[in-house]
Homo-oligomer: A and B are copies of this chain.
Amino acid sequence: MTTRFAIAARAALLASSLLILGTTAAHARDAAALRDQALTGDTVAWDLVEGLTTEVGPRPAASEAEARARDWSAAKLKALGFANVRIETYTMPAWVRGEEKASVIAPFVQPLVVAALGNSGATPEDGITAEIVFFPTFADLQKAPAGSLKGKIAFVTHAMKPTQDGSGYGAFGLARFQGPGVAAEKGALAILIKSIGTDNHRMPHTGTIGWPKGVTPIPAGALSVPDADNLERMVKRGKPVSIHLILTPKRLENQPGGNVIAEVPGSDPKAGIILLAAHLDSWDLGTGAIDDGAGVAIISAAAQRFLGTEKPRHTIRLLLAGAEEVGGNGSDAYHAAHKGEKHALVMESDFGADRIWRIDTKGYEKDQATRTALAAALAPLGVVPGSNPASGGADVEKFVEDGVPVIDLQQDGTRYFDLHHTADDTLDKIDLAQLRQNVASWVAVLGVVADAP
């Protein structure tokens, strides 16, 4: 504990000295006013996420609803005064949910709440019936002998708990990312996982599967957490447990997808673009409020505050990417089309709408002045400097790989995985005060970096 306290004390000292430094720079003073206006009275972000969830709703990748969301967003961004608003299209396969039903048929009889995982294979229309093989963890599934799941349904649980930084997702999410592929390779007829989530509602968490090359997708579903726990109780009574499962999703080739782009034009064409990314697509079960209507709203509202001021040195560009949820076809298309343009900085908002609690950076290791100014601008919002390098997110990762500097404004993820990829991802889960603190944090960062040399 001593070491931790020493680090915290050093950080506090640093922050207080930085605050003085930050308030002496001319552009930081402007940004402080913009930041504080956003914190107390921003209406742009709420109006955007309220509108997107009410007037469009769910917007699965490459669907007709995602196309409506592009038109809707482009019209809103134009009305807000953004320049160079445009839709850039591409084609991609779409995965479309079908019927989904699961029920235990022995030794007890009762229905289970299930949702197909993205890119799941399909059962016949009248379903399959098979005995389950229970794995308490993904590691246990990995250890199953080759061929041992032939004719069976694998059932994998986990013990994911909420964490502020969301690190539980990477660790426990393997049951979803890789579990179906591993089960298929071992001969399983299908796989059911306990939802990768931290709630106790009858809300399955969907999400995409990464199938290994050459593996034919099997039906793969998520049970809600209470259903998985109930099934586990049945298993522990010691008799074979059999399930009837219907999942009939479809894959459609060559569907239209696209990104929405908008800009706050900069004064120096050679300065490079500051790219702010969020994604416009959502899963089909909810209305995509926290994932990622909030991100769309936060970056748009923050950038919009710079439209009414003197031109920033850098162009601030919004990327509302398509198809993030199913593999990033939108951000790949953006990178392919725009990697030749100079990008000075990339940032992404895609972790809900709860408060920013930490800032991480990468590419500013030798630029103490900027790190100092960032910490100072964010300190009034309760944001602390982190000690990990920023990594960006799915929609900017190719630029991060290219070596472009990146700043992460880390959102509080404590309740994020209660809602993530469920029907419960709806507007009412967004807290206005925390949404505004997000906008204010982005404004604070832009205030430091938008005019930087």
For A227, the closest partner residue in chain B by CB is B426
Q: A55-B108, A226-B427 are in contact. List 19 more A-B contacts (CB 8 A).
A: A50-B233, A54-B108, A56-B110, A57-B108, A57-B109, A58-B110, A58-B111, A65-B110, A110-B287, A200-B429, A201-B424, A202-B423, A202-B424, A225-B428, A226-B424, A226-B426, A230-B287, A230-B426, A230-B427
A: residues with CB less than 8 A from B are 50, 53-58, 65, 68, 108-111, 113, 200-203, 225-226, 229-230, 233-234, 237, 286-287, 422-424, 426-429
Could you tell me if A54 and B230 are in contact, using CB atoms closer than 8 angstroms?
Answer: yes
Given A201-B203, A233-B50, A423-B202: A428 in contact with B226 (beta carbons within 8 A):
yes
Contact of A286 (CB < 8 Å), options: B202, B225, B422: B202
Could you tell me if B202 and A203 are in contact, using CB atoms closer than 8 angstroms?
Answer: yes
Q: List 22 A–B pairs whose Cβ atoms lie within 8 Å, in order of A's numbering.
A: A53-B230, A54-B108, A54-B230, A54-B233, A54-B237, A55-B234, A56-B108, A56-B110, A57-B109, A57-B110, A58-B110, A65-B110, A68-B109, A200-B426, A200-B429, A201-B201, A201-B203, A201-B424, A202-B203, A202-B286, A202-B424, A226-B427
Could you tell me if B226 and A111 are in contact, using CB atoms closer than 8 angstroms?
Answer: no
Contact of A113 (CB < 8 Å), options: B55, B234, B237, B423: B423
**In whole angstroms, how far apart are the Cα atoms of A65 and B422 in the complex?**
29
Q: Determine how close the nearest CB of chain B comes to the CB of A224; give it in whole angstroms.
A: 8
For A50, the closest partner residue in chain B by CB is B233
Given A110-B287, A203-B201, A203-B202: A229 in contact with B428 (beta carbons within 8 A):
yes
Given A230-B287, A233-B50: A202 in contact with B426 (beta carbons within 8 A):
yes
Closest 9 CB pairs of A and B: A57-B110, A202-B423, A226-B426, A54-B233, A200-B428, A55-B108, A226-B428, A202-B424, A201-B201
